[in-house]
Chain A
């Protein structure tokens, strides 16, 4: 019995190494980020879409949208000449998005939809170059979906109000201040 065991040791080692190697290859191929800031930034009460759309007839016509979607109609500016709702939204299962090849993706993985056209940006995003990152530089990184920063119906980044400029050095003077008199950070609670 012992002899048999000894005979099998190299075999077991070999099998172990093989398993490890395969595991490593699988990990290398997995270039998709593993960490997100869930969930997608839906407007309040808008999801699941099927709540309203389940009983509605599908209308692919380009038109002025009504009720819940008036806002989208007004802001829509995303290659809007070439595109309409059902190019990205799926008519049969409203709670999913639809890729150009017909595959369905969830709203949590909407980057697959954006990446169809914005391939170079998608590549940079996966590498951590495009988009905001928080967390740990050598550990757990928090990614954001494209739609956390870009409104999918009007993706251009909107101008924002800047925080105040620095004081002129000429204004530096020595004064004693009580705790209440000390100027507060204009950043406030912005995270």
Chain B
């Protein structure tokens, strides 16, 4: 048997360190499937945290994702990574004296944000309350499965609930991987490539606003919205959490569009604007109407204002 020797000819036993190194390298080689061992696999495995990447690195990630999505959904995607506008803090207003509970907002959101149709994911839940019953302090009495022939139903009123974009978001505090954070314009976002699906954030959210992809998301090809944002409506994966982002792909722009739920509302109950702009619609309603925020006692400071215009 040939003995292993070093350069000087002395016998060199395999050290524990070398053995482990070799084993690790071998295992790593085996872990890469032969058919797909291109650079993309490495890139996705070693992708940095979104906030730690520079512009070029983000562009590279986006190029990779666009290619992946194009293969998977047989459609070409445009993924933006537009940053927050300066001097902007987004706020939302919802007029409870107008809402008729028609659920147009729920499905306009689904259309815009590429939510999975099966298993079904909705960002907006419309709650129906009987007039005179407890409501803000006790949402348990609400019905979210109402389905009469016509709305509004006599003797009832409606309160849609979605992500309240808290200034002090409990969901962000509990995330063990920092996969969710608050952006400078106040939008709480999730990096679907960083989320490990532990669902701590769902437990922490007092508004039940976060949704989990229990299965591989399914969207029919003809219903895909290819205009996306990295932190918003790009297609999600099985096992990640998602939620409302105030349509970040629409609203972050100069000019930026209204969110999809605002535009669809047939009674004009939904308002959106910049809280830092004294002339904005949202500031007008906060200053002139009766306003409240949901579960204000929890000190989450939502930027979602329910109001009564009449």
Contacts and interface: CB of A to CB of B under 8 A. Distances in A.
Interface of A: 124, 127-140, 149, 157, 159-168, 172-177, 179, 182-187, 190-191
Contacts of B144: 165-166
B220 A179 contact: yes
B103 A137 contact: no
B207 interface: no
A172 B119 CA distance: 6
A185 B223 contact: yes
Query: Which 4 A-B residue pairs are closest in the complex by CB-CB distance?
Result: A139-B255, A187-B107, A132-B268, A136-B255
B258 A136 contact: yes
A129 B101 contact: no
Contacts, number: 150
Given A182-B219, A185-B107, A185-B223, A160 B258 contact: no
B136 interface: no
Given A138-B255, A167-B120, A185-B117, A162 B264 contact: no
B274 A138 contact: yes
B252 to A, nearest CB: 11
Contacts of A183: 117-118, 120
B104 A190 contact: yes
Contacts of A149: 266-268
B147 A129 contact: no
B104 A187 contact: yes
Given A185-B117, A185-B223, A187-B110, A137 B258 contact: yes
Nearest to B74: A179
A137 B257 contact: yes
A183 B220 CA distance: 8
A128 B119 CA distance: 37
A124 B309 contact: yes
A174 B102 CA distance: 29
B309 A130 contact: yes
B1 to A, nearest CB: 54
B265 A132 contact: yes
Nearest to A166: B122
B255 to A, nearest CB: 3
A161 B281 contact: no
Contacts of A129: 93, 95, 271, 281, 284-285, 288-289, 309
Given A172-B215, A190-B264, A163 B309 contact: no
Give the dominant DSSP class at B's interface. Answer: loop
Contact of A162 (B147, B253, B268, B284): B147
B147 A130 contact: no
10 contacts: A127-B288, A134-B263, A138-B273, A159-B150, A159-B152, A162-B150, A165-B145, A165-B147, A167-B120, A173-B215
B108 interface: yes
A174 B213 CA distance: 11
Contacts of B220: 179, 182, 184
Given A132-B268, A174-B214, A160 B146 contact: no
B145 A163 contact: no
B45 to A, nearest CB: 25
A182 B220 CA distance: 6
B111 interface: yes
Contact of A160 (B110, B266, B280): B266
A127 B118 CA distance: 40
Contacts of A137: 251, 255-258, 272-274, 280
Given A137-B256, A166-B144, A187-B108, A127 B273 contact: no
A166 B125 contact: yes
A130 B262 CA distance: 13
Given A129-B284, A160-B100, A190-B104, A177 B118 contact: yes
Contacts of B148: 162
Given A130-B309, A132-B268, A133-B258, A162 B263 contact: no
B103 to A, nearest CB: 4
Nearest to B271: A129
B211 to A, nearest CB: 11
A122 to B, nearest CB: 13
Contacts of B280: 137
Given A172-B120, A172-B215, 20 more contacts: A127-B281, A129-B284, A129-B309, A132-B267, A132-B268, A137-B256, A137-B257, A137-B258, A137-B280, A149-B266, A165-B147, A166-B120, A168-B145, A174-B215, A175-B215, A177-B218, A183-B118, A185-B107, A185-B111, A187-B110
Interface in B272-294: 272-274, 277, 280-281, 284-285, 288-289
